[in-house]
Structures are given as C-alpha cells and as structure tokens.
Amino acid sequence: MTTYRPEKADELIQTARAMVAPGKGILAIDESNGTCNKRFEAVGIDPSEEKRRQYRELLLTTPDLETYVSGAILYDETIRQSTADGKSFIDVMRERGQVVGIKVDTGAKPLAGSDGEKVTEGLDGLRERIAEYYGMGARFAKWRAVITIGRDGRPTRGCIEANAHALARYAALCQEGGLVPIIEPEVLIDGDHDIDTCERVTEEELNEVFRQLYHQNVMLEGVILKTSMVISGKDAASRAGVEEVADRTVETLLRTVPAALGGVVFLSGGQGVEESTAHLNAMHQRHGDRLPWPLTFSYARAIQGPALGYWKGESANAEEAQKRAFKRAKFNGLASEGKYSADMESA
C-alpha cells in the first residue's frame, strides 16, 4: 500500500517540487465567479466576465511576479481566458516558468443530516475534467473543504470524515491524471473560539485526512497540503499573538503531517495582510531547522487585497495595483525563508 506509485509518479514529484521551490509560494486566484463578484462589488467594480478577465490579467502579468510566485491556481473561466492582446493565460504563465493550477471542486454544499455543516462536492465526472485540464497544460489542482468550529459539538465526526474521504478520492484521481493535488481542509477562522480549540480541531482534521489518503493509495511525495494556521477565532475575547500562532501551527503540523509530503502551504483565511506574512515568517525564524517539508504561502486575499482595493476596475490604476500585488508576493516569499521584517512595510 505505502509503496504504490502512480504511473506519472516522477512527473508529480517534479511538479510538487516546483510549486514549493525555495523562496516562492503559490498565488490563489481561483475564486468562483460568485466569490469574485462579491469581492468586486465590495469595492465598487462591475461584476462582469470582462472585469474578471482584466483583473486576472493584471495579476498574472505583474512584472517579476515569478521571482516569488511559482504558480497560480485558476478557476475554470480563467484558465480559458487570454490577455487583451490575445495570449492565453496558460501561455503567460508557462513563459514565466510558472506552474498552472486549477480549482476542480464544485463548492462546499450543505451536508445532509447535519446542522449547518458543509461537504465539498465535485467527484462526479472528475476523471474526465482532470484529463481536459491536463491536456490544456494544468499540472496541479485544488480542492477545498471547510470545517466550521461552533458550539453544539461542531465539527462533527461525520463532517470531518465525509470531507477527508472526498479529499482523498480527489487526490487519487488527480495523481492518476498527472495533476498534483493541493488538498485544502480549511478550519474556518469564524467564531469566538480560542486557539486551543482550533489546535484540537486542526489536529483531528489532519489526522483523518492523512488516514484517508493512505487508504486511497495517494503518493504523499506528490501532494501539497494547503492548511489554515492554528489561530484564535476572529471574534475571540483575547487572540493569540504572532509567536504563539507560529509555535502552535508548527507543533500541530509536526504531529500530524508525514515528513514525506511534497510540501505545506497556507491559506490566509481572513487574517490581515501583514499578519499573514508575519505568521509565516515567525514559523521559519523560530522553527526553520525543524521542518521536514517546504512550508510556504498560497494566499488569495493576503496577496490580492491591496491590489484589488487600489485597482477599482480602472486601467489607469493597473500599474500601481500590480506594484501592490508584487509587494505582498515579495514579502511572503521572504517570509517563506524567515527573511521578512515588519520594518520593510514602511520602507
């Protein structure tokens, strides 16, 4: 069981290494149209297909982004789009030596029989969709499960097991088709829970995910884990500081994530922009020599936020918006080697 190698094992391992190459992380721009529109509307941008295209072009063509960004996760609409002068986004990325990724889940839906928990869907027809994306040039995929911490015993075992099982089925299909699966079991930051509760839930969730990956014959060397940090709930009465988040996150990962894994990346999950960078940096400064896997970022909001807020859908703002995206990518790239310092923010 443990020695199972998918047909494309060598290619998968190579892809995973490129995704988490030293000093780099992954840009997430795989918001579904609905989520992207919501973010646009919040800053007064017209939620149209053309605006989504312009925005993704702005981000993907940011000068020198490839220095700190190894690849990007796209959405189905985006992977089929091109720049205004007709170059496909896939070619834009490949020419910069970046790896193309694609979100393949179809969203978190209400889990039947539960009180408000969710299970992520998208397994039906997935083998065929993976084949199409691979043919287009994608080399990794993403599937996000959401785990809610709440009163009344949430998350339940039923929710944790259903999501972990789906993640493992997805991961096995990806590897069969030559895509490195990013498995993303996100423990949501929403709520007033303390960091102990987040740690306990994250540990339980990750243990179950790796158990299910084992049962589905997934080759860990060709998998990237995208996880939330161990952090206090957004509305907690007193929130843990940077060093505690860094320490608890690393300790929890060391207890639960096999050393053979291809790499670990973080989502930002509603943390502040600078906070997301500081947490990653502190993990490397305090524990860098103990980490058995590359540990870096795969942020969406923590990289895009400042750029989106500045752009506002106006072409005259595009260049400055790109500078803001680049700044976050660079600082997070530095943080992934413990070389960031808060003083750089004002420099």
Comparison of 175 and 271: residue with beta carbon closer to ligand 13P: 271
Distance from C-alpha of 59 to C-alpha of 324, rounded to nearest angstrom:
10
Q: Is 302 in the site for ligand 13P (CB under 6 A)?
A: yes
Query: Are residues 230 and 199 in contact, defined by beta-carbon separation less than 8 angstroms?
Result: yes
Comparison of 188 and 218: residue with beta carbon closer to ligand 13P: 188
User: Which residues are bridge partners to 183 per DSSP?
Assistant: 143, 225
Q: Is 301 in the site for ligand 13P (CB under 6 A)?
A: yes
3-class DSSP state of 101: strand
User: Which residues are bridge partners to 181 per DSSP?
Assistant: 141
Residues 182-221 vs ligand 13P: string with x where CB under 6 A? --x-------------------------------------
Active site residue 339: no
Q: Is 328 in the site for ligand 13P (CB under 6 A)?
A: no
Residues 288-324 as b/e (b if ≥16 CB within 10 A, e otherwise) read eeebebbbbbbbbbbbbbbbbebbebeeebbeebbeb
Per CB under 6 A, contacts with ligand 13P among 115-174 are 144
Q: How far is the CB of 152 from ligand 13P (least distance, A)?
A: 25
Return the C-alpha torsion angle 117, 143, 330, 243, nearest 10.
Answer: 40
Active site residue 57: no
Q: Is 181 in the site for ligand 13P (CB under 6 A)?
A: no
Q: How far is the CB of 272 from ligand 13P (least distance, A)?
A: 12
Q: Is 268 in the site for ligand 13P (CB under 6 A)?
A: yes
Choices 84-92, 195-203, 230-238, 300-308 (CB under 6 A): range interacting with ligand 13P:
300-308
Comparison of 103 and 287: residue with beta carbon closer to ligand 13P: 103
Query: Are residues 96 and 67 in contact, defined by beta-carbon separation less than 8 angstroms?
Result: no
Distance from C-alpha of 240 to C-alpha of 148, rounded to nearest angstrom:
19
List, by residue number, the catalytic residues. 184, 226
